[in-house]
Amino acid sequence: MKTPAPFRLLNAIQNLSIEVVAASVCSLAFAVEILDAEVQGWWYIAFPFAVWVLYTTDHLIDARVLNKIALNPRHRFHQLHFSKLVASVCLVGIGVLVMVFSQASFPLMLAGIGLFLLSLVHMLMVNFTSRGRSQWVQKELMVALIYTGGSWMGPLVWTNDVPSVAVITVMVSFLLTVWGEGMLIAAFELQMDAADGQASIATRLGMSKLRPWLLVYFFAQLLLLVLFLLVVAEISVPAVLILGLMNGILLGLLIFPKPFVRNGMYHLIGELIFFLPALLLLF
């Protein structure tokens, strides 16, 4: 039976990480609002395209190191369209480099190079070392650090100010939210990752240990956010409420997984929660 057109479009969006790119713009807008930064327009183009290059490169490496057809639909898509995607990554990557080297200040360029090197080390560690593939328990934390660093890097450079305790608190909460989402997705994809030989915190710990940890993790996050509202002066109440909503949705996915695992919607919902930070623009 032929897949309906809307579902084919949705699959294409997910396979190409377009929802991740769109979410990165929302995360960037969130950081800009929190820091009250004046970010140059070109960064709203360069940053999401850089995110796409990194995510697609990571998926291409995953697809290449497998010596069989991947069970993960996204990795299988990258196997089937490997050459075209490599060419696209090269072209888009060159475009990003041209924008960065022609527009970025030295501090932003330096921060970007540092983040790129961290991303490169992460991908090499995970995919090309036996220790990384078998023991890289903190893979999801590294991804969270890179994603959060990229989202906040530009606004931090353009503010030229030392972040306040309130800003740092929101940044840390955002980082923990990204990490939690990564661990939750890894839990849902445990069987596929194990079959494909992919390393994740789920393949290392197993669901019997990971699920209780995630329950404690998300409840602790929500309690921390309430504590931040009570203790941290000048913290952005809308930002904390948005982060609370994001963690609440992730907790809901963990407690009631069946409807979302059955049709594969868990991954899309996990990415769509990172559209919520854009709500801060309304306040």
pLDDT tens digits, one per residue of 246-280: 999 999 999 998 888 777 788 889 999 999 999 99
Angle, alpha carbons 209-210-214 (nearest 5°):
130
Mean confidence (pLDDT) of the chain:
89
Residues 92 and 103: their CA atoms lie apart, in Å, by 16
Helix, strand, coil percentages for the chain (3-state, nearest 5): 85, 0, 15
Taking the model in full, what pTM does it have? 0.91
Residue 135 has pLDDT above 70, yes or no: no
Residues 281 and 239: their CA atoms lie apart, in Å, by 10
Q: For the domain made up of 17-282, give the CATH fold.
A: Farnesyl Diphosphate Synthase (1.10.600)
